[in-house]
C-alpha cells in the first residue's frame, strides 16, 4: 500500500498530545491491576475503525521509513502508533476495534494468537479485553512490515534477501497449517520483522481472516465448495480463490509465491489495472493472473527457475492435499547454495544505517545506496554496523542443518 501522511499527529514524545487511557492488565497473580497506556490523540473521534498502534521501530530505520505517523491509503482509518505501559516502560502494540464495526474480527485474532502461542515468529499477546467503546488487544511490539522495508529498498530486494525471507515465511505458514488453520491473507503487510535481538526474525500477523480447514473433533477436511466470495487481497490471491473455490492450504502457499515474485520483480503484471468498480477490478486482476503463465511471470528474473517450479507445484496441488513444505524450502535452499550465499541473516536493509537530515551533507548517499538498491535522496550513510552487532538473534533451531542429495545446508552463522 501507498503511504500517505497523517495530518495533525505530532511526535509520540510530545506527552501533551498523548492522553492517558486506562486499560486493565491482569497481573501474574491474577488479582488484576490498572495500567495506563499512552494512546494517540483523536482516538475517541474515530468511529467504526480498527486502530493499530505499532511504531517505535528499529532506531536505524524509523526515520527513514517515515512510518511513525502514516496511514495506509487502502485502509484510510488504520493508524500506526506505539502504546507504553507506564509502570514498566515496556513499549507494546495496541489494537482497538470499535464495538460498532459491522464485521468484528479482533476476537478471532485473539483466539488464534492464543492457539499459536509459543511458535517462532508468532507475536505474544499480553492482554485482551475492552475499554470504553473498544475491544482491545495488547501485544508484543514488532518492527516494520516487509512492505515498509520493500519501499525503503526502492521496491526491489536482492535474490539473497528474497530467499532468506522465503525460508522463514514458509515456516510461519507451515506452523499455522499445523494448527489446522489457513491464514487467507498472505501479503507483505502481514509479515513484520522483530525488534532488538529478534531483529532478523520474520513474524506473521493479522489472523482476522483465518479459518479452520480441519474439524476440531473429527479432523475431517472442510468440504470443497464453489461460488465463494474473494477473501484476502486480490493482488496475491490464488487462481482458485479468484475462481470462487473454497480456500485451503494450497492457496496460502500460492499466495506466498506471488509475494516472493513481487519482491523479486518489483511489481506484478496485474498491478495498476483500472476499472470503474472494485468488482470489475477484481475481475481484471483475475483474468490477467489466470492468463499469465508461471514461466512468463518468473523467467528472466533472478532465480526464475526455482520460483517457476514453486508456483507450478502450487497450482498443481489438490484441494485437500498437504503441501510438501520441506520440498518447497529445499527449492530455495538449493538456489541459495548455488548462488554462494551465506546464512548470515543480513538482509538488504541491514547493510545501511541511515538517517534523514534536512539536507544531504555529501554525495556519498546516492552512490552507496545505488550500489545496494536501497532508497536514495537525502540519506546520509553512517559507518556500517559490525556483523556481530547486526545479527543478535538466537538462530538456534531456526534453520536446522539438513542434508539433501548433493547439498548440505549449514546451520545459521554470523559469517558474511
Answer left, alpha or beta for residue 227, where phi above 0 means left and psi between -120 and 50 means alpha: left
- 267/151 Cα distance (integer angstroms): 12
The verdict on whether 215 is a catalytic residue reads no
Distant-in-sequence, close-in-space partners of 236: CB < 8 Å, separation ≥ 6: 186, 187, 255, 258, 259, 262
Long-range contacts, stretch 290-293, CB < 8 angstroms, 24+ apart: 290/239, 290/242
* Cell numbers that stand for 146 in this block: 516487509
CA distance readout (Å), 173 to 102, 240, 293: 28, 18, 24
Q: At how many degrees (to 10) do helices 249-265 and 159-178 cross?
A: 170
| Three-point CA angle 123, 124, 128, nearest 5° | 120
Look up residue 272 and give its DSSP letter: T
- 48/56 Cα distance (integer angstroms): 25
- 356/352 Cα distance (integer angstroms): 13
Question: Do 1 and 188 contact (CB within 8 A), yes or no?
Answer: no
Concatenated DSSP letters of 331-355: HHHHHHHHTT-------GGGS--EE
- 22/238 Cα distance (integer angstroms): 43
Please count the residues of the chain.
416
E-state strands within 202-301:
202-204, 211-212
CA distance readout (Å), 75 to 50, 55, 83, 265, 316: 9, 17, 20, 25, 34
- 135/96 Cα distance (integer angstroms): 5
Q: Name the active-site residue from 185, 206, 251, 344.
A: 185
Question: Do 253 and 173 contact (CB within 8 A), yes or no?
Answer: yes
- Annotated catalytic residues are 185
Amino acid at each position: 500500500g501507498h503511504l500517505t501522511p497523517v495530518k495533525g499527529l505530532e511526535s509520540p514524545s510530545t506527552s501533551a498530545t498523548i492522553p492517558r487511557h486506562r486499560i486493565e492488565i491482569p497481573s501474574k497473580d491474577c488479582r488484576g491491576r490498572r495500567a495506563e497506556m499512552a494512546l494517540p490523540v483523536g482516538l475517541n473521534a474515530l468511529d467504526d475503525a480498527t486502530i493499530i498502534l505499532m511504531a517505535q521501530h528499529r532506531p536505524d530505520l524509523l526515520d527513514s521509513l517515515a512510518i511513525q505517523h502514516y496511514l495506509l491509503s487502502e485502509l484510510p482509518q488504520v493508524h500506526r502508533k506505539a502504546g507504553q505501559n507506564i509502570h514498566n516502560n515496556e513499549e507494546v502494540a495496541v489494537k482497538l476495534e470499535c464495538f460498532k464495526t459491522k464485521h468484528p474480527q479482533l476476537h478471532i485474532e485473539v483466539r488464534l494468537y492464543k492457539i499459536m502461542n509459543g511458535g517462532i515468529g508468532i507475536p505474544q499477546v499480553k492482554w485482551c479485553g475492552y475499554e470504553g467503546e473498544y475491544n482491545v488487544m495488547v501485544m508484543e511490539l514488532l518492527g516494520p512490515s516487509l512492505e515498509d522495508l520493500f519501499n525503503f529498498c526502492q521496491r526491489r530486494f536482492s535474490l539473497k534477501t528474497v530467499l532468506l525471507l522465503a525460508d522463514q515465511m514458509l515456516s510461519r505458514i507451515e506452523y499455522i497449517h499445523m494448527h489446522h488453520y489457513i491464514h487467507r491473507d498472505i501479503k507483505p503487510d502481514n509479515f513484520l520483522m522483530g525488534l532488538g535481538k529478534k531483529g532478523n526474525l520474520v513474524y506473521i500477523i493479522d489472523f482476522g481472516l483465518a479459518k479452520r480447514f480441519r474439524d476440531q473433533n473429527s479432523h475431517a477436511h472442510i468440504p470443497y465448495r464453489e461460488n465463494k466470495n474473494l477473501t484476502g487481497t486480490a493482488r496475491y490471491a490464488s487462481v482458485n480463490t479468484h475462481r470462487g473455490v473454497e480456500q485451503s492450504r494450497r492457496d496460502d502457499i500460492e499466495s506466498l509465491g506471488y509475494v516472493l515474485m513481487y519482491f523479486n520483480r518489483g511489481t506484478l503484471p496485474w498491478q495498476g489495472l483500472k476499472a470503474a468498480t472494485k468488482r470489475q477490478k477484481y475481475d481484471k486482476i483475475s483474468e490477467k493472473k489466470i492468463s499469465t503463465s508461471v514461466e512468463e511471470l518468473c523467467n528472466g528474473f533472478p532465480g526464475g527457475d526455482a520460483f517457476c517450479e514453486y508456483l507450478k507445484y502450487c497450482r498443481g496441488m489438490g484441494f485437500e492435499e498437504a503441501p510438501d513444505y520441506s520440498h518447497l524450502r529445499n527449492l530455495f535452499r538449493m538456489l541459495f547454495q548455488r548462488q554462494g550465499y551465506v546464512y548470515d541473516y543480513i538482509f538488504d536493509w541491514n547493510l545501511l544505517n541511515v538517517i534523514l537530515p534536512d539536507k544531504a551533507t555529501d554525495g556519498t548517499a546516492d552512490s552507496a545506496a545505488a550500489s545496494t538498491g536501497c532508497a536514495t535522496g537525502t540519506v546520509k550513510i553512517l559507518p556500517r554496523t559490525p556483523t556481530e552487532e547486526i545479527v543478535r538473534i538466537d538462530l538456534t533451531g531456526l534453520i536446522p542443518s539438513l542434508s539433501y542429495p548433493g547439498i548440505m545446508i549449514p546451520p545459521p552463522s554470523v559469517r558474511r
